[in-house]
Amino acid sequence: MGAIRIFATAAACVWALDQASKALAVATLDPAHSVPLVPHVFWLTLTRNSGAAFSAGAQMTVMLSMIAIIVVVTVIRMARRLHDRGWALGLGLLLGGALGNLTDRILRAPSPFRGEVVDFLHLTHWPVFNVADIGLTAAVVVILHRGFKGATMDGGMDGSDDESEGGDEIADEART
């Protein structure tokens, strides 16, 4: 699969799973009651977050929306240079996660660009999160991995002869 197709597929899958899971959570979960899935480890807990990660910056929802728009536009522009499948996966996950939470900020109450992000996945000793957050976290891992390997977005390597095909290692690992 080509890099652009991996990028688009990853972004679309994260965004669609995020929006579908949030719709299901809003329709079925009561904010006053958590649903234990794995006792003392994992719950479904419906919350709404007007801030960024860990509810930081709750008073800056409009600014967070603008930052997300800048991220989305930047990632889409960068995608034109993609030839490395690993970078394509990482940037696709980043785009899908950013779009997932941006969709909430634009479309959800209380108003456009001030909307609260729906969170519902809750692990012990961890703030409540959503599928978009998982995509963003996975994006960081993949992008850091490609960066440490010296892979460039165009499929080359930064000063290293260790890998001849940029991105093949991650794509091969994903298939197994």
| Separation of alpha carbons 128 and 119, rounded Å | 6
CB 93 within 8 A of CB 141: no
- Where are the extended beta strands (E) located within the chain? 35-38, 42-49, 117-123
Burial, 98: exposed, middle or buried (Cβ in 10 Å; 0-12, 13-18, 19+)?
buried
Catalytic residue positions, numbered: 119, 133
Cα 3 to chain centroid, rounded: 18
Q: Which long-range contacts (CB under 8 A, 24 or more apart) does 155-161 make?
A: 155/3, 155/83, 155/84
CB 113 within 8 A of CB 62: yes
